[in-house]
Amino acid sequence: ANERTIDVTVATRRQFLLHNAVLEDVFDTDVAIQHPLLVKTLQANKNSQMSSITATIQQEQNIIIRDTQSTALLVNGIAGSGKTSVVLQRIAYLLYRYRDNLVSSDMLLLTPNTLFTNYINQVLPSLGEKSPLQMTFAQLLTTFINKSIPFESDTSHVQDLANKLDDWVLTAADFKNITLNDVTIFSQADIKQFFEQTSKAMSLTKRITALSSILTAEIESRIEQASKDGKVQAELSDLTDSQQEKIFGRLISPSSDLAVQKATKRMLLWRNRKLLKQIDQKAWLNISQIIKSVLNTHQINDLDYTFTRLKLLDLAQKNLRFVIIDEIQDYSLDQILFLLTAFPKAHWTLVGDQFQSILESSHPLTFNNLMGLFESHHIAVTQRNLYTSYRSSGAITKAFIKHGSPNLIDKVNTIQIGGKEPELIENQDFESLLINLKSEIKQLDNGELSAIITSDLHLAQAIHDQIKQTVLGTTAEKLPASGIIVLPLTLAKGLEFDNVIIADVNSKYYLDTAFSRASRTLII
């Protein structure tokens, strides 16, 4: 103060809770609490133990939020441990930290579903930052494919393709004829001959890039020769005024032989613009046939196709700086390998719960395998664990830990101890299910947000058709503030509700994932 240093001792940190200029509460805490649920919990439990636990949570999360040293950061957190909050605050922190040379489009957030994407879009502006690029993995794939293609196979083989493509030898069948106005300019055999001019010492991707340059140079050479032909030059005079405007941007009257030749060349380049675009976009490469040859199969998978196109056409986005993936446990190693190939210069934040995968696979992702894949690409992974649950009641937390990760039971801290035990209701058929659902719905608080979670979309639609006061999750653009939403488990990932009714527990259910969506009441 006044250019003097004054030594002080901080005896207490006191946080004031204000709403619309009204002081609602005051409590002491070791760190500034930013998460609204933590604030609410601390209000209701003002004791030294609660303060120390809250401080610990904040410190764990802040280490993750402010980590700028790790090229890949893996956050393994149980349900309700603040993973989503960490993701949002980390995005805001990175955009602020690198605000002089980072814009929101330099960052990609991959979300589990569109409902979650819309939820993020509502929250991020409140943190003072623009939203980064956001999409699901399926939506990301479509950005690498330039046309609609029917895919027959559900099984991907990206790791196999990655191992074989670089050294694969193309045949004439791996090319497509290059045509212009139904006239073949280069046949498959022609392209194969040009391909043989490229160095066999190069990877297949580099040979394809070199081949594209050879084909372009061949067309430009033909155009150069044709532009000197008097018969072709005479076609300039046949151009209408509108055609001249399209080609040259103005009307022309070349007065010398050189000017005529240059104008003729420009006219020919314009006429061949679609041909040159075909060559530049490598539309002459038969991606499907290459995959069939490499994998010795007759069926194509969408991920295999997109990866092969990404790799052979060199479509990697080297300017993307940060990739943040939520619910990483629901990805396959093939999907992650695709991402590593697509964004080779990115820094990674991978957030999930290794015990809550809903990926239908005989070989579900393990975090050890995930880390091994990154390290095989010379990317060191830093892992941080979040084992404190403060969203769900103690009874619900105990239930989802028991069904998902029982070996963590001694490591998990629960802030909201106690609570109502989950309720089990048996139904003989769909009619009795509807009767019980309607009975339970009557007891729910209309001011709270409740969810009826199903194992599939078909049942969610059937329940919505019979219980009209519900909102169908597949048609909702965003979560309502209150009321009852019906949605399949795949759409409920990453979301939280005051009350949850699991409509159809069965052998296909991922119980821990479904249970952990509830914070207060769980009915099964």
Q: What is the pLDDT of residue 229?
A: 95
Structure pTM?
0.80
Please state the φ and ψ torsions of residue 343, each to the nearest 5 degrees: -130, 70
Q: Where are the domains of the chain?
A: 36-143+316-402, 176-284, 422-510
Q: How far is CA 126 from the centre of its chain?
A: 22
Q: Is 82 annotated as a binding residue?
A: yes
Q: Is 352 annotated as a binding residue?
A: no
Q: Do domains 36-143+316-402 and 422-510 have the same CATH topology?
A: yes
Spatial contact of 333 and 490, defined as CB atoms under 8 Å apart: no
Are 309 and 67 in contact by the 8 Å Cβ rule? The answer is no
CA-nearest of 159, 158, 135 to 320 is: 135
- For position 114, what pLDDT does the model report? 81
**What pLDDT is recorded for position 48?**
47
List the chain residues with pLDDT less than 70: 1, 28-58, 123-129, 359-363, 409, 475-476, 507-509
Q: Which residues pair with 347 in a beta bridge?
A: 322
Which H helix or E strand runs over 325? strand 322-326
Q: Which two tokens stand for residue 208?
A: 């394809």
Closest CA to 392 of 491, 476, 512, 290: 512
- pLDDT for 146-179, tens place per residue? 777 888 888 999 999 999 999 999 999 999 999 9
Do 74 and 101 form a contact (C-beta atoms < 8 A)? no
The pLDDT value recorded for residue 368 is 93
At CA 28, angle to CA 22 and CA 33, rounded to 5? 75
Residue 359: predicted pLDDT:
65
CA distance 429 to 452: 17
Element (H or E) spanning 521, and its range? strand 518-523
> pLDDT, tens digit, for every residue of 29-63?
655 555 554 555 555 555 444 444 445 556 788 89
Q: What is the pLDDT of residue 362?
A: 56
Is 84 one of the annotated binding-site residues? yes
The residue written with tokens 């530049």 in the block is 280
Confidence at residue 509, expressed as pLDDT on a 0 to 100 scale:
60
Task: Tell me: is residue 81 an annotated ligand-binding position.
Answer: yes
Chain-centre distance of CA 22, in angstroms?
A: 40
Return all residues near 388 (Cβ < 8 A) that are at least 6 apart.
Answer: 53, 56, 57, 60, 81, 82, 412, 413, 414, 415
**CATH top class, domain 36-143+316-402:** alpha beta
Class of domain 422-510: alpha beta
Q: Say which DSSP state 180 is in.
A: E
Q: What is the DSSP letter of 421?
A: P
For residues 491 and 119, the answer to whether their CB atoms sit within 8 Å is no
Going by C-alpha positions, the residue among 467, 394, 400, 390 that lies closest to residue 431 is: 467
The answer to whether 80 is annotated as binding is yes
How many helices, marked H, and strands, marked E, lie in the chain? 21, 17
